[in-house]
Amino acid sequence: MKLFDVYPLYEIEPVKAKGCSVWDKNGTQYLDFYGGHAVISIGHSHPHYIKTISDQLQNIGFYSNSVLNQLQNKVAEKLGRLSGYHDYTFFFCNSGAEANENALKLASFTNKRHKVLAYKKAFHGRTSGTVAVTDNPSIISPFNASHQVEFVGLDDLETTKSILSKGDVAAVIIEGIQGVGGIHVPDNTFLTGLLEICTQTGTLLILDEIQSGYGRSGKFFAHQFAGIRPDLITVAKGMGNGFPVAGVLISPAIEASPGLLGTTFGGNHLACAAAQSVLDVFENEQLIKNAATTGAYLKHRAREIKGVKSIRGLGLMIGLEFEPEIVDIRRKLLFDHHIFTGYSGKNTLRLLPPLCITIAEIDHLIDSLKIITENLN
Ligand SMILES: Cc1ncc(COP(=O)(O)O)c(C=O)c1O
C-alpha cells in the first residue's frame, strides 16, 4: 500500500535528535528552528523524558478511562500549579483539533447555543467543528461548512460586540498568538474587552493555546500577557514534546457529568509520563524564562537582517516578514546552512525552536540569514 499523498516533502529523513539538533540518515546535523511545528518544547531526546517514558512502559503503557489512573491527576495538578490555573479542571485528549472540538462542544453544551465567532486568518484544526472555525475555505468540505460560524478581523472589538450582543453565540475561539496566519499577537486591550463582552452576553471564551501555549510566548500562556482568564483553554503540541497528548483547561463554573465527553486514548499512561516529564523539565530548567530572554535576543538581532520589514511575536514564537518571498531563503537555510524553519504565507519566516535554544544557536541562525540575504538580488 502507498501513502495517501497529502504532504509536500523535503528530501531529508531525520533519524536521530538531541537538544535543538536533528541528524539525517547520512549523519548531517541540522539546527531545529521549527521544533517539528512548535511541538518540541524541552528539546529532542531529553534524558529525563526518555527515562520517564521508558520506566512507565516497563510497568503499564495503557489502560482505559474506565479505571483509576493517578498519573492523570499528577499531571493536572502540576499543570494547574505551573500555569496558574490550579482551580480549573482538565480533560485529556490526543491532538490539538480534538482539544478545540471538545472545547467548542463544551461551550455549546453549557449555553445551548449553536453559533461560533472566530477570527480572520485563524487556524484551529481539521476536524468537523475546528476546520469550520478555521479561516481557509480550501480545507473546508461541504460537510464541514454547515456549522454556523462568523469571522471577524483580529482586534475588531466593535464588530465582535455587535455580533455577540444578539445573545445567540455559543463561543468565541481565538488563538493566543495566530500561528498559521502569520504570527499576529492580539492586542491586550482587545482581549480584556473581548472577555468583558463574552461575560456580559453569556458567550464562552475559548483560548486556543495549542501553538502559543506551554511557555512558548515567554509566559505559560500567551493570553496571560493581557491578564485575562478565559472559560476554556486548549493545549497540545508542546505538552508532550512529540508524544501525542492534548487537553482542555476548564473553568470551575463549567460542571462535568458522566459521559459528557470521552476518549479511548486520551490521558493514557504513556501520554501522562510524557506530559509529566515535560512539566518537570519546565520547572527544573526554567524553560519559560529562557523562551522570554532568548526570544527577545532573537528579535533584537533580527533587525540586522536585510529585507526584513516586520518582526512579530512573543518569546520563541517569532515571525520575520521579508520584502521578498522567502521560498529561496528557506531552501538555502535548509540545504546550505542546515537549519530547519517554518513559514506563514509567502513572505513570513516562522521560527518555533525548542524552548532550550541557546544564544549561540540564535547567533548561528542570524549569521546564516545575513549571509543568505546579503547575496539575494
Ligand atoms: C493554533 C492551532 N490550533 C489547532 C491546531 C491543530 O492541532 P493538531 O494538528 O494537533 O490537531 C494547530 C496545529 O497546527 C494550531 O496551530
From the list 274, 264, 232, the residue with the least C-alpha distance to 100 is: 232
**Domain-embedded: residue 249:** yes
- Residue 221, domain CATH: 3.40.640.10
Please write the tens of the pLDDT for every residue from 272-296.
999 999 999 999 999 999 999 999 9
252 & 276 share domain: yes
Residue at a domain's end among 285, 313, 347: 285
293 & 273 share domain: no
The number of the ligand 1 atom at minimal distance from the alpha carbon of 100 is 4
The 3-state secondary structure of 283-350, one letter per residue: HHHCHHHHHHHHHHHHHHHHCCCCCEEEEEEECCEEEEEECCCCHHHHHHHHHCCCEECEEECCCEEE
Rounded to the nearest angstrom, the distance between the alpha carbon of 6 and the centre of ligand 1 is 17
Please write the tens of the pLDDT for every residue from 39-53.
999 999 999 999 999
What stretch of H or E contains 31?
A: strand 29-32
**Domain-embedded: residue 243:** yes
**Domain-embedded: residue 2:** no
267 & 196 share domain: yes
42 & 27 share domain: yes
pTM: 0.98
User: Grid coordinates representing 325?
Assistant: 518571498
Residue at a domain's end among 285, 300, 330: 285
Total domains present in the chain: 2
Measuring from atom 3 of ligand 1, which residue has the nearest CA?
124
- State how far the Cα of 52 lies from the Cα of 68, in Å rounded to an integer: 20
237 & 327 share domain: no
Q: How do strand 149-152 and strand 204-208 relate by DSSP bridges?
A: unpaired
Which domain range does residue 59 map to?
Answer: 47-285
In which residue are the cell numbers 539538533 written?
Answer: 21
* Percentage of the residues of the chain whose pLDDT score is greater than 90: 99
297 & 222 share domain: no
258 & 311 share domain: no
**Domain-embedded: residue 7:** no
Residue at a domain's end among 263, 285, 307: 285
96 & 82 share domain: yes
Please write the tens of the pLDDT for every residue from 163-211.
999 999 999 999 999 999 999 999 999 999 999 999 999 999 999 999 9
Please write the tens of the pLDDT for every residue from 199-246.
999 999 999 999 999 999 999 999 999 999 999 999 999 999 999 999
Rounded to the nearest angstrom, the distance between the alpha carbon of 125 and the centre of ligand 1 is 5
Please write the tens of the pLDDT for every residue from 53-81.
999 999 999 999 999 999 999 999 999 99
- State how far the Cα of 361 lies from the Cα of 102, in Å rounded to an integer: 38
Q: How do strand 14-18 and strand 21-24 relate by DSSP bridges?
A: antiparallel
User: Grid coordinates representing 273?
Assistant: 509520563
173 & 85 share domain: yes
Beta carbon of 211 within 6 Å of any ligand 1 atom: yes
Burial 175-203 (b: 16+ CB within 10 A, else e): bbbbbbbbbbbbeeebbebbbebbeebeb
**Domain-embedded: residue 168:** yes
Rounded to the nearest angstrom, the distance between the alpha carbon of 235 and the centre of ligand 1 is 9
- Residue 296, domain CATH: 3.90.1150.10
**Domain-embedded: residue 1:** no
Q: How do strand 21-24 and strand 204-208 relate by DSSP bridges?
A: unpaired
99 & 24 share domain: no
**Cα torsion angle, 105, 107, 111, 117, sign:** negative
